[in-house]
Amino acid sequence: MNGTGFSMPRINPPGVNSFRDRAGRLRYYYRRRGRKAVPLPGSPSTPEFEAAYEAAKAGAAPLAVSKRAAPGTIDALAIAYYRSEEWSLLADETRKTRKRIIERFRAEHGSKRVATLRHEHVQAMLARVKKLTAKRHWLKAIRPLLRSAIPTMRKDDPTEGIANIKLPKTKGHATWSDAEIAQYRAHWPLGTQQRLVMEFALETFSRRGEVVRLGPQHVRGGRIRIERTHGSQDVDIPVTPELKAACDAMPKAHLTFIVTLQGKPRSKYGLGNHFAKWATEAGLPARCRLHGLKKGGMRRLAEAGNTAHELMALSGHRTLTEVQRYTIDAEKKRLADSGMAKMQGQKENASVTNITPLELQTDVKSNT
C-alpha cells in the first residue's frame, strides 16, 4: 500500500513470469531460453521464493522448499540465516554471490540434518571445488552459514581448523594507459554503447555492476550520483565533458543507458564479456579489460595532482590505503622526472664549466 491507499503493482524479478490459475492463485515460474521453466514457491520477497529463485538462476535443480522446512535441516538453517542480522549487514553484491553458493549447497544437502555434518565432510566438499578463487568464495559463504547453527542446531563449528583460502598476490587488472584510451575512443565513436560504457567506467571510476545501473535519472545539473558497490560509499560527482558528450549522443528511451538489443538492462557479467570483445575489436591487447578503466581513471587523477582524500571523494573508497597506491605511484613518477631533469641539467653545466686548468692553458697558447 502507498499513501493513497492503493496497492502498488508488483514487479517480478528478472526472468520470472507469473499467471493466475483457475483458483485465482498467483503462480510464478523462472524461465531461461533453452531450459524448462522452474516453478517458484510463495511470492517475491518471501524467503522460500528467494531461495528457489537464486537456485534456479544458478542452474541448480529446483528445490523442494516448503514454507515450513523440516527443523534442524540445512534448508531450515539457510532460511533462518537469510533472516538474520548478520546476513542483512552484508553488502548487496556479497549477498548475491554467497546466496548462489548456499543455494547450490542446499540443492544437494537441503534435507540433511545440520547436526550430522562433520569436519571431514566440509573438507571433502571444499576439495571438490577446483579453482582457487571458487574455493575461497565457497568457504566464505558456507563457513558463516554453518556457524550460525551454533548453539541451536549444533554445538561446534565443522569448519574450525580449515584455513582461509589465500590467493597469490598479483597486480590485478592492468591499468589502461592514455594511448590505449585514445585508441579505444578512435575506434568506437560517440553514439555507441561501446563508447558510453568506456566513458562511464573511466570518467566515473566505476565497476561493471555500477555501470549497468546508470541511467538518465542519475544525471542532474551537471552532476552524476552513483550508488557504489562492494562496500564503497555512494558519490555525487561532476560530469566531465567527455562523459557528457557520450550521454548526450545516446537515446533516453530506457531507465538505464546500457541495454541489450531487446532494450532490457544488461547484467554485469554479460557486460564484462561483451566489453572484452569490444576492446579486442578496437585492436587492444587482452590485458585491456573493463575494470582496468576504473584504475586508469584513478591513475589520471593522481597524476593530475589530486590528493588521496580527493580520490576518495570521487571514487567512494572508504580507506586511504586503497587509494594511496595511486598517489604514491604518481609521486614516484614525478620524482623520477625531477631527478632525471636535475641530472640532465648537471650534464649540460658540466659541458661548459668542467674544463681542467691544462685545457685552459692549451687554449691560451693556441690563441697567442
288 and 337 assigned to the same domain? no
Same-domain check for residues 75 and 189: no
Give the pLDDT confidence of 104-130 residue by residue, as tens digits. 999 899 999 999 999 999 999 999 998
The three cell numbers of residue 50 are: 528467494
249-253 long-range contacts (CB < 8 A, ≥24 apart) are 249/190, 249/191, 249/195, 249/196, 250/191, 250/193, 250/196, 252/216
> Is residue 250 in a domain?
yes
> For position 355, what pLDDT does the model report?
53
Beta bridge partners of 26: 20
8 Å CB contact between 52 and 63: yes
Q: Which amino acid is at 189?
A: P
Cell of 36: 524448462
Q: Do residues 78 and 191 both lie within one domain?
A: no
Q: Are residues 320 and 331 in the same domain?
A: no
Q: Are residues 226 and 309 in the same domain?
A: yes
pLDDT in tens, 257-268: 888 877 788 888
- Is the previous residue joined to 151 through a cis bond, with omega within 30 degrees of 0? yes
Please state, in angstroms and as integers, the Cα–Cα distance from residue 142 to each residue in 12, 92, 130, 132, following that order.
Answer: 28, 17, 16, 15
* CATH number of 277's domain: 1.10.443.10
Establish if 200 belongs to a structural domain: yes
> Domain boundary residue among 125, 147, 169?
147
Distance between CA atoms of 255 and 323, rounded to whole angstroms? 31
Would you call 19 helix, strand, or coil by DSSP? strand
- SS3 assignment, position 236: strand
Q: Is 6 within the bounds of a domain?
A: no
pLDDT at site 55:
74
Domain assignment of residue 52, given as a range: 28-147
Residues of the chain with pLDDT below 50 are 1-9, 61-67, 360, 364
Q: Do 188 and 289 meet the contact criterion of CB atoms below 8 Å apart?
A: no
Q: Are residues 141 and 198 in the same domain?
A: no
Q: Is residue 12 part of a domain?
A: no
- What one-character-per-residue DSSP string does 26-56 give? EEEEE--TTS--EEE-S-TTSHHHHHHHHHH
167 inside domain: no
Same domain, 219 and 252: yes
Q: Quick one: cell of 351?
A: 659541458
The confidence score (pLDDT) of residue 5 equals: 36
In this structure, are 39 and 67 located in the same domain? yes
Output the pLDDT for position 282: 97
Same domain, 189 and 210: yes
**Domain contains 154:** no
Query: What's the structural domain count of the chain?
Result: 3
* Judgement on whether residues 182 and 320 belong to the same structural domain of the protein: yes
pLDDT value, residue 3: 43
pLDDT at 169: 76
Residues 96 and 223 in one domain: no
pTM higher than 0.85, yes or no? no
* Measured CA distances, 35 to 18, 32, 56, 107, 286 (Å): 17, 6, 10, 18, 33
Parallel, antiparallel, or unpaired for β 26-30 and 38-40?
antiparallel
- Same domain, residue pair 141 and 269: no
270 in a domain, yes or no?
A: yes
204 membership: H or E segment, kind and range: helix 193-204
In 3D space, the residue among 294, 323, 295 whose CA is nearest the CA of residue 309 turns out to be 323
Asked if residue 104 is part of any domain, the answer here is yes
